[in-house]
Structure 1
Amino acid sequence: MKIECQICFEYHPKILFTKITVNCNHGSNICKLCINKHITIKLDSQSDIKINCPFNKCNQIIQINDIRKINKKLYERYNTLLLHQTLSKIPEFRWCKNSGCNSGQIHFGGDDAPIMTCQACKQKLCYTHDIPWHEDSTCSNYELIIRQGNDKATQDLLEKETKPCPKCGIRIIKEDGCDHMACKIRTCKYEFCWL
């Protein structure tokens, strides 16, 4: 006996259908293939991994045990994502910044002892800035360097993209049109050539 799936509208053997979640009131009208695709898409596209039943207007959440019954590999992936999400909510927890390491740990020293050493790969990390440790620089010095870098980048952009009004000194951006400029400051209104 074949049943029509309410998502893909294809007929499949009854064995390919299962109740999605114990909380749903509707029957088994969606094939496992569509349920697997639905869960996979949700896991790929969400930071919050609550997955609703795909049945039309059913807002029930698919529980972890439901996912385990539907697909073991998706269950393992869901479980891992749930663990990562839970750990990331702990304020003292930091993930290792080494791209080859998937480890993380809780650091109770906080900002008073900002150097962390990953227990798995031994890379040094900065707890305060959540980056690899900034060698030869304290956290205060690192913040100063970053602030100066941002200030310099802003200044470079202003120098490149704007010119000061010859009368009042306010920086002006030339968006388009001719090179004839007029200062937009109400008390100035000075006119000059951009070139």
Structure 2
Amino acid sequence: MVVFINKCIICFEPTRRFEKVSEACGHECTCRLCVRKHIEAELNTKTAINIRCPKPGCRVKLTYHDIKRLVSKETFERYDNLLLCHAIRKLKDFRWCKNPECGSGQEHTTGDDEPIMTCIACHSKSCFTHDVPWHKDHTCDEFSEKIQTENETANQAYHDSCLAAYDRILQFGNHHHKSTCQYYSAYDGEDI
């Protein structure tokens, strides 16, 4: 009696038992280990939560229950946490704590009317309006003005130190850039 053994489409190893990837597509073309590795790779390389069947050309998204059935408990907890974070980001009044050692977040329903947020986990203060650590000694209006002034000053300094006189460049060509500029190109003709 001849037993036909197919190969996994990912690792190409012969196997007698394929894993059903999703109830929606019904594909049984990969071994269990490769399905797990596919899902883990998707979770490691993307912030997206939509994981698709690994069969080329199949656009079916794996369901919550498909993923729970296919992966380890630890991987599923990571996936579940990504789903939670994705849902939280959609809340307009939610902000993450700005303390880099905290990792907590909360809703701040008073919004810009009362912009000081105090983290319920670590008690650090942050600004709801600007989404930064609290800018003590400045109101939100003063902080906005300070940021705008600093940005304008930084932009002007950048323009003054790096950018060429574009009127000459536009009129005569890229050889009027500084020779260190990435847009500079030598010119063999007579300069005007």
TM-score normalized with structure 1 length: 0.78
SS in 1 for 2:47: coil
2:60 maps to which residue?
A: 60
- Runs of at least 4 residues of structure 1 off by over 3 A? 162-165
1:114 maps to which residue?
A: 115
Structure 1 window deviating more from structure 2 (131-140 vs 32-41): it is: 32-41
Residue 142 of structure 1: how far off its partner (Å)? 0.7
1:175 maps to which residue?
A: 177
1:4–1:10 CA contact under 8 A, matched in 2: yes
Q: Which one has a larger percent strand, Structure 1 or Structure 2?
A: 1
Structure 1 window deviating more from structure 2 (37-46 vs 134-143): it is: 37-46
Residue 3 of structure 1: how far off its partner (Å)? 4.5
CA distance in 2, matches of 1:164, 1:41: 49
Residue 158 of structure 1: how far off its partner (Å)? 2.4
CA distance in 1, matches of 2:65, 2:38: 16
2:20–2:26 CA contact under 8 A, matched in 1: no
Q: Which one has a larger percent helix, Structure 1 or Structure 2?
A: 2
CA distance in 2, matches of 1:162, 1:81: 43
Instruction: Give the CA RMSD over aligned residues.
Output: 2.2
The change in CA–CA distance for 1:163 and 1:41 in structure 2 (over 3 A counts) is closer
2:39–2:51 CA contact under 8 A, matched in 1: yes
Residue 44 of structure 1: how far off its partner (Å)? 2.3
1:25 maps to which residue?
A: 26
2:164–2:177 CA contact under 8 A, matched in 1: no
Unmatched segments (≥5 aa) in structure 2 = 167-173, 180-191
2:51–2:62 CA contact under 8 A, matched in 1: yes
Residue 13 of structure 1: how far off its partner (Å)? 5.9
Q: Percent identity?
A: 40
SS in 2 for 1:59: coil
1:11 maps to which residue?
A: 14
SS in 1 for 2:74: helix
C-alpha offsets along residues 26-56 of structure 1, whole Å, 9 cap, x if unaligned? Answer: 3x22012221221122212323211110012
| 1:78-117 superposed matches below 5 A | 78-117=79-118
1:101–1:120 CA contact under 8 A, matched in 2: yes
The change in CA–CA distance for 1:64 and 1:163 in structure 2 (over 3 A counts) is closer
How many pairs are equivalent?
A: 168
TM-score normalized with structure 2 length: 0.79
Residue 11 of structure 1: how far off its partner (Å)? 2.1
